[in-house]
Structure 1
Amino acid sequence: MYEKLLSLADHFGLKVVEDTLPLRLKGLYADGVACINRKIPYVAKGCTLAEEIGHHHTSFGNILDKTSLSSRKQEQRARRYGHQILIPLNRFIDAGQARVEGRHDVAEWLGITEEFLQESIDYYQQKFGLYVVVEEHLIHFDPLYVTKASCWLGTHYMRFG
């Protein structure tokens, strides 16, 4: 996933560099350059780069001050953008159809961290409520499962655990 995101970043004119950052920082974005902490795991680099691409498209100015409402909103907007890049709703359907079960396995199958998966689920649940219908499938967020929308009242569903 990280390699695909590097290509996408290049397409958007975003320069990506890996460097050593304090461990609490996974990545930083400034002036068309995303710096990814080289010490974080490979899968986390993809999740971080997705968010930095989000900053490239949605952020402006210095947003390092986390006490600023504007900074927090821009951070949240960039994070949501990252969720939409890495896990568009149809990827939940793909995972369900592949019969991938359990959050750990779903995250691994998607090529993301479990933390990023949970943040994505939380984001989509906040946006749509408990479920959303996509491409004739019902994606239920809590608990996470996917079923054909035509039979969602029945018992046939793919549960992720």
Structure 2
Amino acid sequence: MNDFEMFLDEVFQEVPVLEGSLDEDGFEGLYRDGRIYIEKNLDTMKKKELLVEEYCHHKTSVGDIINYADFESRKQESAARRMALEKLVPLDRLIECAFSGSIGKYECAEFLDVTPETLEAAIKHYSSTIGQVYLHNGCILRFNEYSVTVLNTGLH
């Protein structure tokens, strides 16, 4: 079972997920009327990322937030995106990535099974919310542009 299927099983316990053709102004994923809609013609990594983000909208958003010109819509979009990044790229997995010897954006993204853009967004999110250096589960993490370094490698 791949990551997408595992997330799908988890999410489907709470909210229906429908895969199909989305003809709505180029959207690849939507949360609407208590359902998650995912474009069926995407690769499984992209579907997984969209599924997690739309599930986070289910958990955090209220009302129709498609109008990004509206401040409240942007605020709710941002909250769901941050939650999705933390679910897709948790700190423990970043530590595993660092210990695996993966370096660089593409190698780390492949290890974590996310797109390079999602990895970059997660690193920026963590850097801006918890700082460039952070203690997590006994590991001192330093966030780089596209990866994380564990500074106290002898402790793990």
TM-superposed CA distance for 1:24, in Å, is 3.3
TM-superposed CA distance for 1:31, in Å, is 2.3
Query: What residue in structure 2 maps to residue 87 of structure 1?
Result: 89
Q: Distance in 2 between matches of 1:125 and 1:20?
A: 36
Please, which runs of 5 or more residues in structure 2 have no aligned partner? none
Q: Distance in 1 between matches of 2:127 and 2:150?
A: 17
TM-superposed CA distance for 1:149, in Å, is 3.6
Q: Distance in 2 between matches of 1:150 and 1:38?
A: 42
Q: Distance in 2 between matches of 1:146 and 1:37?
A: 35
**Secondary structure of 2:148 counterpart:** strand
Q: Distance in 1 between matches of 2:12 and 2:38?
A: 14
- Per-residue deviation, residues 78-103 of structure 1 (Å, max 9, x unmatched): 11111111111111001111112221
Q: Distance in 2 between matches of 1:145 and 1:62?
A: 36
Q: Is the 8 A contact 2:142 2:151 kept in 1?
A: no
TM-superposed CA distance for 1:10, in Å, is 1.7
Count residues in correspondence: 150
Q: Is the 8 A contact 1:133 1:149 kept in 2?
A: no
The residue correspondences of 1:43-62 to structure 2 (distance < 5 A) are: 43-62=45-64
Which residue among 99, 104, 120 is the counterpart of 1:102? 104
Q: Post-superposition, which runs of at least 4 consecutive aligned residues in structure 1 deviate over 6 A?
A: none
The residue correspondences of 1:2-151 to structure 2 (distance < 5 A) are: 2-11=4-13, 13-22=14-23, 24-143=26-145, 144-149=147-152
| TM-score, normalising length: structure 1 | 0.86
Query: What residue in structure 2 maps to residue 157 of structure 1?
Result: none
Please, which runs of 5 or more residues in structure 1 have no aligned partner? 152-161
